[in-house]
Amino acid sequence: MPTLYYHHAAGLNHVTAPGHPERPDRLRAIEQGLSAEPFTSLVRVEAPEADLDVVALCHSNEYIDELRHISPKEGMIYLDGDTTMSPGTWEAALRATGGAVAAVDAVMKNKRTNAFVGTRPPGHHAETSRPMGFCFFDSAAIAARYAQRKYGIARACVVDFDVHHGNGSQEIFWSDPSVMYASTHQMPLFPGTGATQERGDQDTVVNAPLRPGNGSREFREAFDIAILPRLEAFAPELIVISAGFDAHWRDPLGSLELREEDFAWVTRKLMEIADKSAEGRIVSVLEGGYDLQGLRDSVAVHVAALMNN
């Protein structure tokens, strides 16, 4: 199975304040991890910019226009206490989404192909009309909706194992019976959503919150009991992964205790379901992960699993 790796140097130009955890060094750490010998067969592709009409599949035109209008030509602006724009942010955000959309094109046209989109800024906190939590455009959600609109996918899913709940993805798909959103995340923690009883209007939202200090056992049980059976019954024709690695034990923004092998395990489990109903089609989109060593090592085992290594 050929695995594609979408990236772009524009992600380094999205500059955040000194000390901000969502920083350009994250991409450098990923590049370091994926430069090792096991990844020489990765197909490396530069992420294109997304068309604005594709971004509008999940975000309002008014929101997109406002973000473009306020994008600074110099310096930095704060959209909230955590989320900033620099002169390079707009292009970086468009390429993050464009990479996810291009990955959908690739996996839909080539059988048994999957992809990892290693771009920033992340996206799963961005709601229809609101940036939030370092996020501007919800690339994972847009990828799922794009696959439906362009390729006639009847059922898509977004599976999110970031330490933070993807409130944006949940909001976007809350009333949609054709997209399942499933998440493990620490609770309580930012953004405060993701309780078990949040199930969506069509019972297609599956939240499996974890407690601070939970580790491999609780994470794997959450998937085995709450998520994987629901996902298998839903029989998605495409799986999009919101691949956040901040549930790693080293990460400064969470209190879960996952190890690299947990990310490899969940990747293989999702691949098994994709093989059954989606012809192996998986698009994995980078979300969080803020300890550079933990991010580097976790991405490496995640991509190695996608490559069947």
Dihedral angle, C-alpha 210, 212, 216, 217, nearest 10 °: -60
CA dist., res. 120 & res. 299, Å (int): 14
Nearest to 123 by CA among 136, 114, 111, 104: 136
Q: Are 12 and 281 in contact, with CB atoms under 8 Å apart?
A: no
Contacts of 33 (CB under 8 A, 6+ apart): 295, 296, 297, 299, 300
Secondary structure of residue 252 in the 3-state scheme: coil
CA dist., res. 240 & res. 176, Å (int): 16
Q: Encoding tokens for residue 136?
A: 């501007």
CA dist., res. 125 & res. 167, Å (int): 5
Chain-centroid distance, C-alpha 128: 16
C-alpha separations of 198 from 12, 171, 188, 273 in Å: 36, 11, 14, 24
**Active-site entry in 59, 125, 185, 248:** 125
* 200, HSE (Cβ side, Cα atoms, 13 Å): 23
* 125 among known catalytic residues: yes
Q: Are 194 and 183 in contact, with CB atoms under 8 Å apart?
A: yes
C-alpha separations of 10 from 7, 13, 75, 148 in Å: 9, 5, 17, 28
CA dist., res. 108 & res. 202, Å (int): 26
Contacts of 276 (CB under 8 A, 6+ apart): 232, 235
For 226, which DSSP code? I
Catalytic (active-site) positions: 125
